A = this chain, B = another copy of it.
Amino acid sequence: MSTVTFEPSGKTVVVENGTDVLAAARAAGLEFDSPCGGKGTCGNCGVRVVAGDVVDESRGVLTHAAVAHGYVLACRARVTDTPVTIYLPETFELEGARILADDETYLVRPELLLKDWQYDPIVVKWLVHVAPAETLDGFSDLDRLIRAMRREWGNQEIVCSFGVVRELPETLRAEEGVVTVTVVRDGERFSVIRCEPGNQTTRLYAIAVDVGTTTVAVQLINLATRKILATRSAYNDQIKCGLDVISRINYAGRPGGLKELRNRVRETINRLVAEACRSNDIAPREVSSAVVSGNTTMNHLLLGITPEYLRLAPYTPAALEIPSLTAREVGIEINRDARVYFSPNSGSYVGGDITAGLLCTELSANTDDIQLFMDIGTNAEVVVGNRDFLMSCACSAGPAFEGGGIHCGMRAALGAIEKVDVDPATGRAAYSTIGGVPPRGICGTGVIECLANLLMTGWIDPAGKLDRSGRSPAIEYEGRRARYVIATAEESATGEAIFVSELDFENVIRAKAAIYSACALLLQQIGIGFEDLTRIYIAGGFGRFLDLEKAMTIGLVPDFPRDRFHFIGNASLMGSYQVVISQDYRQDQMKLARRMTYIDLSVMPGYMDEYTAALFLPHTNQDRFPTIKERIMASNKDDGWRPQTRFEGVQTRS
């Protein structure tokens, strides 16, 4: 018998083992439609397993992401003899479901994922029954293992890693020849990287790693159930060696610099992997594959390859498609023979994070519609295209949007100010923090909110200068220095006031100018405008929290029909997950990487003009932001404030 608890209703029912969840729900008095009659084809009865486990036979109907987050079809999932808790929402709605994954919030948009994905991970586990040895039969332990595998999976080339061979005598004899092999399928070649006694097929784990210049994120995945077990992120320890890619490259040129950078990022990754494993009672050596997605420079540094020639003309990377490596070679502390697959880089400035991120979009889908993808990070990349072409460019935005290089900046973690309202009359801030605890700092979206609201209420001008009239107690100034205080020393958890200085705002404005002008120039190069785009994807670790209206207000994204924007969060990490889970995605990604054409903006005429023009809020040419312009005009009508600008339609503040 099995105890099944349903949430949020709290109803509990005891049913026989093997009962399907649909029948259990009905026994508990919970009703929902099952148009296909329990055949597992309509997808109407999707529910989420919160605790415990079920035998899941769901197929095809549920999206990839739904499965990843624990969804099963109630009619195709059977309970076992362990208690299970099922989340059964009143109105089941998966589209845009907000998935809370540990310390980060990720928005997953399953409709963006490849529809006909197939569960086909890089690494699989198989149960093998090895026949016992007979006296001097001429077969070694290895021969017996290979024969047993061939009987089951055909006459493949089977190669066992040294570690497997070394332990084989004990492994084969521990459970009378019943072993579980972990296999990397590389075309017609099977590589056995692990062999365990007994049936361990349900314990197959992988990690997806997003290596950003500022932030590193790691996801632990149960490949057997496709569930994401944990997500962990932290600042890249390399930050201490420079805030952006160029300063890291310079640092790598010092004696011992490259080695230090390599060790720092490895330590960051290994710390996150260890935490994610620990929280799930999984030994790191049980993790048998990894997909790493990072920009080209980050990939070089993680591998200890000099990035020098990425910086010097003709800007040549050592490798775009990194050969498949072992965890031991890369220095990631999981199973030493685990395969580490690097998302392929497309060019020197468009890396594996972008080819992973594009897997969460329809940019190269079979359509004439032109779409745009922007990944907002320390290094920002923009890709535009459709089935016929894919063009990309990159720019350095700096770490401001991730809280880096901002005096009171921090990551979007517990205690970070993420919402800031500004009182039009007094200029005072009303704020809220992640987790509702006393503030410890301000994250990137908090700074953007703050800047947008200060602009909208007239306490900052389009050039990013704070009001020095003394009318607001929140604005402190002395000579050329001014700052906007959000939380006082008494309110803050650190005992010091939390503020944003004009210098901080300048960093943000430079960052948004770089990104906006990159988009504009790339489109100009192709000969189209923003209005020709059917969709804009915005990716980045902070994507989930970003308020589109605020991003538009400061001119980070174009003023554009709101429904064409899609925030896809940390697309690099989500794309890595997809590659872990299905070789279909891996092939798509390789095609994407090879198809993209890189445009070097810095050598384009008009580059500096476009950038300089974007150094205002929202833009020097406010006609590019008609709805924002209108709202600024409206909000300032009453008190006569006008944003300062050299251009017609907006007048200098008196």
Contacts and interface: CB of A to CB of B under 8 A. Distances in A.
Contacts of A600: 136
A140 B319 CA distance: 5
Contacts of A134: 314
A162 B303 contact: yes
Given A133-B309, A173-B309, 13 more contacts: A133-B316, A134-B314, A135-B313, A138-B598, A140-B318, A140-B319, A142-B320, A162-B303, A162-B323, A165-B305, A166-B318, A169-B306, A169-B308
What 10 A-B pairs have minimum CB-CB distances, sorted nearest first?
A: A135-B314, A142-B319, A133-B316, A140-B320, A140-B317, A162-B329, A141-B318, A140-B319, A169-B318, A133-B314
A503 interface: no
7 contacts: A134-B314, A135-B315, A136-B347, A162-B303, A162-B329, A165-B305, A169-B308
A14 interface: no
A139 interface: yes
Contacts of A323: 159-162, 165
B166 A316 contact: no
Specify the main secondary structure of chain A where it touches its partner: loop
A138 to B, nearest CB: 6
Contacts of A496: none
A322 interface: yes
Contacts of A316: 133, 139-141, 169
A137 interface: yes
A174 to B, nearest CB: 13
Contacts of A138: 347, 598
A348 interface: yes
Contacts of A137: 314
A323 B313 CA distance: 43
Contacts of A309: 133, 141, 169, 173
A315 B136 CA distance: 6
Nearest to A596: B138
A165 B319 contact: yes
A353 to B, nearest CB: 17
A136 B317 CA distance: 10
A423 interface: no
Interface string A291-321: 0000000000001111011000111111111
Contacts of A325: 162
A491 interface: no
A349 to B, nearest CB: 9
Nearest to A135: B314
Interface string A170-208: 100100000000000000000000000000000000000
A583 B135 CA distance: 32
A161 B325 CA distance: 9
A582 to B, nearest CB: 23
A614 to B, nearest CB: 24
A256 to B, nearest CB: 16
A454 interface: no
Contacts of A321: 140, 142
Contacts of A305: 165-166, 168-169
A532 interface: no
Contacts of A322: 165
B135 A318 contact: no
A152 interface: no
Contacts of A169: 305-306, 308-309, 316, 318
A143 interface: yes
Contacts of A165: 303, 305, 318-319, 322-323
A31 B437 CA distance: 101
Nearest to A157: B187
A388 to B, nearest CB: 18
Contacts of A139: 316
Nearest to A296: B140
Contacts of A170: 306
Nearest to A313: B135
A305 B320 CA distance: 38
Contacts of A160: 323
Given A143-B320, A329-B162, A136 B168 contact: no
A588 to B, nearest CB: 19
